Structure 1
Amino acid sequence: MYRPVRSPASKGAAANAQRIAGTGGAAASCYPFPVRSRYLSLLLAPALLLAGCHSHPPSLSQLEQKKAEQQALANAQRSQLEQILPPSKNRYMNIHSFDEWQNPYITVQPGMLQIHIMQGDATPGAFGSGGMLRPAGARRQEVDIAFDKLGEAVTSIPQNAWPYGRVVAIEEANHTPKAAEPLVRKNMEQAIATLNDLGIEVYDIGSGNLR
């Protein structure tokens, strides 16, 4: 009977196949332990995910477009605020108490801004003004906002809440922790810059000076 003669190479291949079969079908690899082929995708998946998760920085055109949009928004807000009369210094420069202040004023805090608004009297006139019929406290509102919403917030304040014209008072929050004072001062400077850019004067009631 004819019996095929196996070459040494074929014997090695058969032995290799038998070895693979003995390990449950594990493929030879560079790992120091048997790795099944169906597990290779699991081993490679984290690397593939990391390779695909790198975010690309915005391009120059995207940055320019965003800057143009911000400038257009600021121009629109300035145009809207111009409908309010210019500030009248002879009406507010002698005020040194927030209890007497009727225009909007801002309290700067470490993590936000608080806008205090005195709504205009719906029925202006000497009779009943500030009394039981039309108490000033009932017309006060307080709104907490993020720093980047300051322009949007001040343009939303009704015109009758600006009796002194386009001017707001500003103060630091009371009882600010000493460690947070530098941040509050930085936030105040940022708020003042935003308000001035919108054409709004900023009055420091404590010192009686414009900022």
Structure 2
Amino acid sequence: MNPTLTVQENMLELRVVLADPNPSSYGAGGMLRPVNARRQVLNISFDKLGDALAAIPQDAWPYGRVVAIEEAHKVPANAMPAIRRSVEKTVDKLTDLGVVAYDPADGNIR
């Protein structure tokens, strides 16, 4: 699973699932090798996005340099314009970094 970003008004939530270091399929995802133990959730500022993406190991990008991006959920209606502007700002930054932004809500690649 590639990294995902949830865009909020003043920050980003970056979710990364690190690759399983054990090449054997025995016990994968089970009690001894749970996926959640490799999952990381980071709250970062917009200006640290490039550094955060550069720090992600190559094996955490199984589909190449593609990030799923979504707007924050359960926010007041009056905050939505600011979040939409933050999404556009984030997509522009991802493009500058050579990372493709995929919006699973509408299936668009930006």
TM (norm. structure 2) is 0.94
2:95 is paired with a residue whose SS is: helix
Which portions of structure 1, spanning 4 or more consecutive aligned residues, are displaced by more than 3 angstroms? none
Aligned to 1:165: 64
Offset at 1:204?
1.0
Which structure has more helix as a fraction of its residues?
1
Aligned to 2:28: 129
Listed as ranges, the gaps of 5+ residues in structure 2 are: none
For 1:176 and 1:125, the matched residues in 2 are separated by: 42
Aligned to 1:191: 90
1:205 is the counterpart of 2:94: no
Which structure has more strand as a fraction of its residues?
2
1:141 is the counterpart of 2:48: no
Offset at 1:209?
2.0
Q: Say what the alpha-carbon RMSD is for the aligned residues.
A: 1.0
Structure with the greater relative contact order (CA < 8 A, sep ≥ 6): 1 or 2? 2
Aligned to 2:2: 103
Q: Aligned partner of 2:34: which letter?
A: P
What count of residue pairs does the alignment treat as equivalent? 110
1:165 is paired with a residue whose SS is: coil
Write the deviation string for residues 7-51 of structure 1: whole angstroms up to 9, x where unpaired: xxxxxxxxxxxxxxxxxxxxxxxxxxxxxxxxxxxxxxxxxxxxx
Identity percentage of aligned residues: 52
For 1:132 and 1:184, the matched residues in 2 are separated by: 38
1:120 is the counterpart of 2:22: no
Q: Aligned partner of 2:94: which letter?
A: L
Q: Aligned partner of 1:107: which letter?
A: T
Write the deviation string for residues 102-144 of structure 1: whole angstroms up to 9, x where unpaired: 1100000111001001011111332222121211111111111
Q: Aligned partner of 1:108: which letter?
A: V
For 2:37 and 2:106, the matched residues in 1 are separated by: 28
For 1:204 and 1:134, the matched residues in 2 are separated by: 30
2:84 is paired with a residue whose SS is: helix
Aligned to 1:71: none
1:134 is paired with a residue whose SS is: coil
| Among 51, 65, 75, the residue aligned to 1:152 | 51
2:75 is paired with a residue whose SS is: coil
Write the deviation string for residues 58-82 of structure 1: whole angstroms up to 9, x where unpaired: xxxxxxxxxxxxxxxxxxxxxxxxx
Which structure's CA Rg is the greater one?
1
**Mapping 1:50-69, distance limit 5 Å:** none
